[in-house]
A and B are shown apart, each in its own frame.
Chain A
Amino acid sequence: MTPLSITHPLGDWIRQQLPSPFAAIANGLIAVIAIAMLVVVTAIFLVWLERKVCARFQARLGPTRVGPFGLLQPVADAIKLLMKENIRPRTVDQLAYFLAPLLPITGSFLVLIVIPFDHNLQVLDPDAGIVYVTAVSGMGILGVLIGGWGSNNKYSLLGSMRAGAQLFSYELSMVLCMLLIVMASGTASLRNIVLSQQGTILDWWIFKLPVAGLVAFLLFIVSSTAELNRGPLDLSEAEQELTGGFHTEYTGISFSMFFLAEFVNMFAAAGLGATLFLGGFLAPQIGWHPVDQLLAFIPGFIWFAAKAYFLIFLYMWTRWTFPRLRIDHLLSLEWKFLLPASLANLLLAATLVLFKWVIP
C-alpha cells in the first residue's frame, strides 16, 4: 500500500510543520474530513439532481421554490428529517435496528477512499484496490439485511431478503466485468488501471477491447444498477408491494442515513465505472494536437466528475424510464442471461488480450 497525500503541496507543508507521527495523523485526518465532506455534499446535490432530472423526464419542473432552481430543497428536506422523532418500535432488536443505518454510509465512504479523483487526489491506493472495493461495497447490503431482520416486520424482512438475493446474484457479473479490466490492464490498483488507459479516447477500456469492452460496460451498468438497489431493479424497497421494504420501520435520522447512502453509493459506483471503463481522471484526447492541449488543460478531477455524472445520468435515465421487474424475472435475468454473457465476454476478452487484438 502506498499512502498518498490529498495534494502534494498541502501534505508536504504539514510534514514540514509537524514531527513525523503527528504529520501522518494530521494528513490522514484532513483526508478523512475531505471525503466526509464529499459524502455529504454529493448526497445533498444528488438528491436535488435526481428530483430535477426525474421531473424533466416526466415533463415536470421539479423543485423550483427553495433557493435558486430549488437547490436548497434537499437542505430543507435534511433539516426536516433531522428534526423528526427517531421512533423505536417496541418489538425491534435494538442493537441491529440502530446499527443497520450506519453500515451503508460507511461502505460508500470506504469505497470513495480508494477512488482516484485526480493524479494526486486519492486517499489510499491499495495494490488490490478492486478486491477492496468489492469487499467493502458489500457493507451496504449488510446494513440492509441487518436492518430488515432487526425491524421484526414481514415487509422489512422480505425486502432485505430480496436485497440479499439480488446482491449475491449480481455481484457475480459485476466482479466478472471488473476482472476483465484487471486482466486487460494487468493491475488491480485503481490508479494504475486509470494510467493504463493513457492516450486517446480509443485507449479507454470501453473501446480498446473491441466489442468486449463495450459489452462489459453495459453489463457493469446493469449489474451495478441492481447492486445500488435502484429502479428498475429496486426490488428490495418496491414501495407498491412492500411499503418501502427494508426501511419500512425507519424514520427521521435513521431513514435519512439509508437514503443518503443510496445516493453516495450511486456516486461511488459511477466513479468506479468511470475509472474502469472511461479513463477516470484522464482528459479525453481525440488525437488532434490543438484541441488535445486545450482539453488537457482542464484539471483531472473535473474530467472525473464529468464522466461520473454522465454515468449517474445513465442510472437516472434508466430508472425513470423502465418499470420495475418481478423478483423471479430479476433473478432469471442474472443467472440465465447476464452471468453466461459475462463469462462468454470474459473468454472473448481473454482471447483478445492473449493474441493482442486490441486497438493500438
Chain B
Amino acid sequence: MISLNRFAGSVSALLKGLGVTLNYIVHPKRVVTREYPENRETLTFPERFRGQVVMPHDENNDHNCTACTLCEKACPNGSISILTTKNIASKRVLGQFVYRLSSCTLCNLCIEACPFDAIRMGHGFEMAGYTREELDLILNKKEGR
C-alpha cells in the first residue's frame, strides 16, 4: 500500500520536473545552440568554451612560459612537446612550444597544470586541415624570453 506521504512526495517531484522543462521552453534565451556558418563574424562563445589551446602574448610579444614542462607531463596524449633552448646567459628558456592539435582532446589538464597561466583554452574550433602536419602548431611567437 502506497502511503499518502510518499504519494504526495512523488507527485511534487514530478511537478518539479515538469517545471524545470517548462522553464526552458518559456525562456528562449536559455537555448545554448549557436547557429553557424552565416554568422561567423558575430559568433559569441560562453566564457568556459574549450577550443584549441592558445598561448597569450603581451604587447612586446612576450609570454609567461618558463619551459618547466609541467604541461607536457600532464598531457595524457603526448600532444605537447616543449623544446628548450639556452639564452645568452645560458639559462634554459622556451625554444618551441609544439602543440599537436590532431591528438588533443581539449581536456584542459595542461591548463590546470600550468603554474604561470602561460597557456589557456582558446575559442578556435575550426580545426580541419588537409594534412596532419598542418595541425602541428608552434604556440610561441618568438624563441627565448
Contacts and interface: CB of A to CB of B under 8 A. Distances in A.
A301 interface: no
B39 interface: no
A356 interface: no
B35 A322 contact: no
Contact of B31 (A61, A317, A322): A61
A89 B18 CA distance: 42
B82 to A, nearest CB: 40
A56 B31 contact: yes
Interface residues of B, number: 15
B22 interface: yes
A58 B24 contact: yes
B97 to A, nearest CB: 37
Contact of B28 (A56, A58, A317): A56
A60 B32 contact: yes
Given A56-B28, A337-B2, A320 B21 contact: yes
B24 A57 contact: yes
Contacts of A56: 24-25, 28, 31
A349 B92 CA distance: 88
Interface residues of A, number: 16
Given A61-B33, A61-B35, A64-B35, A321 B20 contact: yes
A320 B35 CA distance: 23
A55 B31 CA distance: 9
Contacts of A53: 25
Given A53-B25, A337-B2, A317 B18 contact: yes
A134 interface: no
Interface string A54-92: 011111110010000000000000000000000000000
B48 interface: no
Nearest to B20: A321
Contacts of A322: 14, 17
Contact of B21 (A57, A61, A337): A57
Interface string A286-330: 000000000000000000000000000000011011100000000
B30 interface: yes
Contacts of B33: 55, 59-61
Nearest to A61: B33
B9 to A, nearest CB: 15
Contacts of A59: 24, 30-33
Contacts of A61: 31, 33, 35
Interface of A: 53, 55-61, 64, 317-318, 320-322, 336-337
Interface of B: 2, 14, 17-18, 20-22, 24-25, 28, 30-33, 35
